[in-house]
């Protein structure tokens, strides 16, 4: 099982399609909710024993081929002098915000000692897991959106205003995040993760032209700086940015559901692919769900290698039982008649 996922990450064809889910450790799972009733989210992230337990839950319950570290993409900000809070009604809140070049003075390069608990969690998990462990970080651009907007947003007005009115300042901000992300991921690798994933969650808000200017150079630098483990790159709006992603050196491109898997295999001939089921199909009928799962698996065989996953994270309303059925279906598909 360990070799299957890692081989797929390296672009090696596998006997069966490995599977894991973004946000597989989370609120949809009753076992998670029991812990969440006792602790707030940040306490869970900052307590290695709890974070390790939550990371292990979907591996034990679902039988997935890889674990992903239980943490949050905003955690590195705490090591950079920025405060983060999580509330159930407003989501993540970040302060102080950086809305102009003059505010960048509030930001410092990451101090790894301030986020030591992330690496301690990894060390615990490496001793307990029988499947590979995925470490992760947000892309510099995604971190920038949170620190500029002060939290989640739908329109990204402040982010784009900063980008287009003070491009030099925005590039300075991106450089700080890039250097810090490289340090953060390298420390995760040192602690023992087998693979890292970069979440470019909000890159899809940009035009291809602006992605090339404000995002790609920094993503490329991160990917090119990591050579000890495979790198998975997840970018939203894969279809709109497809031509911009083809020359990235990531081992695996994780694609969303807005591009057909067959089209993706044609576009990305030199990458292993991960994805790309719409998470909300898990809320519909099993007939409709498995029709789509089968289609993805069939077309995934055309890729250099394929890891089954969702096009984004597991929705809170998802049934654990249906996720387990998907895992079993994916694992057994090699013996099914196509």
161 is known as an active-site residue: no
Backbone φ and ψ of 196, nearest 5°: -125, 145
Query: Residue written as tokens 């790894």?
Result: 112
Closest to 294 measured CA to CA, from 252, 234, 336: 336
Residues 6+ apart with CB under 8 A from 335: none
Relative to beta strand 83-87, strand 252-254 is unpaired
Query: DSSP per residue over 164-180, as a string?
Result: HH-HHHHHHHHHHHHHH
What whole-number distance in Å separates Cα of residue 276 and Cα of residue 255? 6
2 is known as an active-site residue: no
Cα–chain-centroid distance for residue 173?
21
The single-letter DSSP state of residue 106 is G
CB atoms within 10 A of CB 83: 10
Query: Residue written as tokens 């894991």?
Result: 20
Among the listed residues 28, 32, 146, 233, the single catalytic one is 146
- Encoding tokens for residue 207? 């035009």
Taken in order 139, 142, 148, 152, the sign of the CA dihedral is negative
Among the listed residues 2, 16, 36, 263, the single catalytic one is 36
Among the listed residues 2, 16, 27, 301, the single catalytic one is 27
Q: Is 310 helix (H, G, I), strand (E, B) or coil?
A: strand
What whole-number distance in Å separates Cα of residue 159 and Cα of residue 214? 11
What whole-number distance in Å separates Cα of residue 334 and Cα of residue 297? 9
72 is known as an active-site residue: yes
36 is known as an active-site residue: yes
292 is known as an active-site residue: no
Burial class of 259 by CB neighbour count within 10 A (0 to 12, 13 to 18, 19+): buried
Q: Is 199 helix (H, G, I), strand (E, B) or coil?
A: strand
Among the listed residues 28, 32, 65, 72, the single catalytic one is 72
Closest to 329 measured CA to CA, from 29, 11, 4, 63: 63
Residues with catalytic roles: 23, 27, 36, 72, 146
């Amino acid at each position: 099982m360990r070799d299957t996922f890692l081989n797929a990450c390296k672009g090696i064809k596998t006997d069966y399609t490995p599977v894991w889910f973004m946000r597989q450790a989370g609120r949809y799972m009753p076992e998670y909710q029991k812990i969440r009733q006792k602790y707030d989210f940040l306490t869970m992230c900052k307590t290695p024993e709890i974070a390790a337990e939550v990371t292990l839950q979907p591996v034990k319950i679902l039988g997935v081929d890889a674990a992903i570290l239980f943490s949050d993409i905003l955690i590195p900000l705490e090591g950079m002098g920025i405060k983060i809070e999580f509330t159930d009604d407003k989501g993540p809140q970040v302060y102080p915000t950086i809305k102009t070049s003059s505010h960048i003075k509030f930001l410092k390069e990451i101090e790894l000692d301030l986020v030591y608990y992330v690496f301690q969690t990894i060390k615990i998990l490496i001793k307990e897991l029988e499947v590979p462990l995925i470490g992760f970080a947000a892309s510099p651009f995604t971190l920038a959106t949170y620190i500029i907007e002060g939290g989640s947003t739908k329109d990204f007005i402040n982010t784009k205003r900063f980008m287009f009115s003070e491009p030099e300042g925005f590039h300075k901000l991106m450089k700080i995040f890039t250097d810090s992300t490289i340090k953060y991921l390298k420390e995760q690798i040192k602690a023992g993760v087998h693979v890292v994933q970069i979440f470019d969650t909000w890159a899809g808000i940009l035009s291809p032209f602006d992605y090339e200017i404000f995002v790609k150079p920094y993503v490329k630098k991160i990917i090119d700086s990591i050579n000890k483990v495979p790198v998975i790159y997840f970018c939203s709006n894969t279809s709109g940015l497809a031509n911009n992603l083809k020359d990235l050196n990531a081992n695996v491109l994780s694609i969303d559901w807005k591009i057909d898997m067959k089209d993706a295999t044609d576009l990305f001939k030199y990458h292993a692919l991960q994805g790309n089921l719409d998470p909300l199909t898990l809320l519909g009928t099993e007939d409709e769900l498995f029709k789509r799962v089968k289609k993805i698996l069939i077309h995934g065989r055309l890729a250099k290698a394929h890891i089954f996953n969702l096009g984004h994270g597991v929705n809170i309303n998802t049934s654990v039982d249906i996720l387990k059925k998907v895992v079993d279906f994916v694992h057994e598909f090699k013996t099914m008649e196509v």
